[in-house]
Amino acid sequence: MTFSHLADYFEKLEETSSRLALIDILSDLFKHSSKEEIEKIVYLTQGRIAPFFEPVEIGMAEKTVAQSIATAYDSTKEAVLKLYAKLGDMGLAALQLSSKFKIQNSKLTVGEVFDILVQIAKTTGEGTVEKRQALFTDLLKKLDSSSAKYLVRIPLGNLRLGIGDPTILDGLALAKLGDKSKRKALEGAYNRTSDLGLIAKALFSAGLSAVEKLQVVVGKPIRSELCERLPTPEKVIEKLKSVDVQYKYDGFRVQIHKDGDKVSMFSRNLENMTRMFPELVLATRKQVKAKTAILDTEALAYNPQSEEFLPFQETTKRRRKHGIEEMAKKLPLKAFVFDILYKNGKSLIDSPLVKRIEILKKTIKEDGVLMVSKTETVDDAKRLAVLLEDAVSKGLEGLVVKRLQSLYEAGARNFNWVKLKRHSAGELQDTIDCVILGYIFGKGKRTAFGAGALLVGVYDELQDEFVTVSKIGTGLTDEEWREIKVQSSKFKVQNKPSRVNSLIIPSVWVQPKIVIEVLADEITRSPIHTAGASVNSASHSGLSTSGSKTGEKEPGYALRFPRLVSFRGKDKRAEDATTVKELVEMYKQQGKQ
């Protein structure tokens, strides 16, 4: 396939705001792809040249890309940057400047363009910037305007297609298995490997059975298992009977992979964090008694002398790209290891929790940095309540309780793992992670900052779309408005983004990228919000919450008295926000059915 043909598909995807249409276009694109190029096409559709978790960056900042555009189209860097500032998108700047050159019938294939992007990424040493610029300019000179528009967006990390991983899986399923509902058949492999390109390649080369055979690989992150919520120790014991109880540490989820001396680490949203935590890399080499292993851990700043866990605000200072070594000395992290998913060439995700913990204890040599999380088996609500008090008194968030015989269900959030925090039953148990979808201009003082209320939503994982749950106007300081303005200005778009489902039309739409943590008094039903509205609520909750029949229109769910707690942009992607299913569960737990 030529890159120009791929750009035609990108154009169609960008113009489409219906998710079903997106899947059809993707499926058509994939049907026209060969088994040799499908992997590259999938990565490019994600705006990448490697899976998300590989730290391969093309390494060209805005100014470098602008210089390449200037050289390719007889302009100057300053003129390109000026046009970029006016249009708000470097892709559109390249489109406009290239159009007078009328380059047509570009024969460059997807493979050729991809390989040059990889070459640019791999360029190192003296004169790197110039070499990268020259290679990129050369590509631009050979591509038509529409291709140039999409090419320049790739190194800048904003392809603007608005496609999530589940939608790509739907597209692959429709193209090769004839029905998007067969996505389920691909999901297991996705949860085990997090690598859409690898899955596409296996599917195109050797069919579904090859995808199903894809196993856990050291170096490719496993999608994290997550927790459900229950309000009280009594409810936990009533539902789960006997559980393994662990502290709920409030730090970063870090999945540690050890392959001989090579150690890599991934965040919950699949970001490669190996460079950020050098002390954990050293500790893994020293303390893990296995040639290969994958560990599930929570890393946080901890003072072993006083047995003090430092608050998340402290730990989060370690999320940085510069001054890493210095900060590692100032604020060293410990990793509490609570699970082992792989050891010496063998996946453990299909072994029961009790067995995994037994193996874990034998694998870690205690030496102060990696610490095996304490566990206790409990079948009595009173004991569980005591442990919860103990955790809270130590400054922790609460407990995580786990079904003793449960397997590791990659990517799942169900009652195998339940988080228990200290709150009395009846109140809203937990904060909600919302995604900013737009803002609504206000009157008066706030207009100076460009916002009066934020339109926020949650993630509907079945539909792979974002649905609205609240307008947040009060409780934000001027400083927070400013911060929101700065962050969201990068993602402002003219029309409703394709994966947003909203009855409310804000003054400005924002691509679903920014996650904020919100506290609310309660969850109520509301006809103006789309979260869990209509037929969706029946399929998410498994029952019709207002007594109407499945399929009848039902109102959505909304937050009452919402207020901003924190920005979660650094450790959460939009798809990691609270889901509709969780929201419905939380609503039910309020006892308002």
**Of 36-44, 209-217, 224-232, 349-357, which part binds ligand ATP (CB under 6 A)?**
224-232
- What's the min distance (Å) between Cβ of 433 and ligand ATP? 6
d(Cα 386, Cα 495) in Å, to the nearest integer? 53
Cβ–Cβ contacts within 10 Å for residue 111, how many?
Answer: 15
Secondary structure (3-state) at 324: helix
> What is the helix (H) or strand (E) element at residue 372, kind and residue range?
strand 370-372
Distance CA 574, CA 81 (A): 29
Distance, CA of 354 to CA of 376 (rounded, Å): 11
Q: Which residue, judged by CB position, is nearest to ligand ATP in the bound state?
A: 253
Q: Under rule CB under 6 A, how many of the chain's residues touch ligand ATP?
A: 15
Residue 190 interacting with ligand ATP (CB under 6 A): no
Please count the residues of the chain.
593
CB of 227 to ligand ATP, least distance (A): 4
* Nearest CA among 533, 581, 251, 583 for reference residue 429: 583
| Shorter beta-carbon distance to ligand ATP: residue 433 or 464 | 433
Q: What's at 369, amino acid-wise?
A: V
Q: Kindly write out the interface string for residues 467-486 of this chain, putting x where it contacts ligand ATP by CB under 6 A and - elsewhere.
A: --------------------
Which sign, positive or negative, has the C-alpha torsion 535, 537, 541, 543?
Answer: negative
**Spatial separation of the C-alpha atoms in residues 220 and 195, rounded to whole Å:** 8
Is residue 262 part of the annotated active site? The answer reads no
Residues numbered 253-272 forming contacts with ligand ATP, rule: CB under 6 A: 253, 268
Cα distance between residue 486 and residue 490, in whole Å:
7
Helix (H) and strand (E) counts in the chain: 22, 22
By beta-carbon proximity to ligand ATP, the closer residue of 108 and 412 is 412
Closest separation between CB of residue 417 and ligand ATP, Å?
Answer: 6
Please report, as residue ranges, which positions from 126 to 155 form the binding site for ligand ATP (by CB under 6 A): none
Q: Which is nearer to ligand ATP, 246 or 315 (CB)?
A: 246
Sign, CA torsion 147/151/152/156: positive
Closest CA to 5 of 112, 164, 126: 112
Query: To the nearest whole angstrom, how small is the minimum distance from the Cβ of residue 214 to ligand ATP?
Result: 24
Instruction: Give the nearest distance from C-beta 216 to ligand ATP in angstroms.
Output: 18
Question: How far is residue 164's CA from residue 435's CA, in Å, rounded to a whole number?
Answer: 14
In contact, 183 and 166? CB cutoff 8 Å: yes
Phi, psi (degrees; rounded to nearest 5) at 106: -65, 130
Q: Which of 66, 226, 280, 564 binds ligand ATP (CB under 6 A)?
A: 226
Site string for ligand ATP, 428-467 (x = CB under 6 A): --x-------------------------------------
Binding of residue 298 to ligand ATP (CB under 6 A): yes
Contact between 579 and ligand ATP (CB under 6 A)? no
R_g of the chain computed on alpha carbons: 25
> By C-beta, is 7 or 434 nearer to ligand ATP?
434
Q: Which is nearer to ligand ATP, 180 or 403 (CB)?
A: 403
* CB 531 within 8 Å of CB 583: yes
The binding track of 395-414 with respect to ligand ATP, each residue x by CB under 6 A or -, is -----x--------------
List the interface residues with ligand ATP, window 333-392 (CB under 6 A). 338, 373
- CB 304 → ligand ATP: shortest distance, Å? 17
Choosing from 419, 482, 496, 513, the residue that interacts with ligand ATP (CB under 6 A) is 419
**Least CB distance to ligand ATP at residue 334 (A):** 12
Spatial distance between the Cα atoms of 392 and 405, rounded to a whole number of angstroms: 27
Nearest-angstrom CA–CA distance, 498 and 137: 31
Residue 470, amino acid: S
* Contact between 227 and ligand ATP per CB under 6 A: yes
The active-site residue, picked from 248, 343, 402, 471, is 248
Is residue 170 within 8 Å of 30, Cβ to Cβ?
A: no
Q: Choose the binding region for ligand ATP from 79-87, 200-208, 248-256, 584-592 (rule: CB under 6 A).
A: 248-256
Nearer to ligand ATP, 211 or 295 (CB): 295
**Residues tagged active-site:** 248
Using CB under 6 A as the criterion, which residues of the chain lie in contact with ligand ATP when the complex forms?
A: 224, 226-227, 246-249, 253, 268, 298, 338, 373, 400, 419, 430
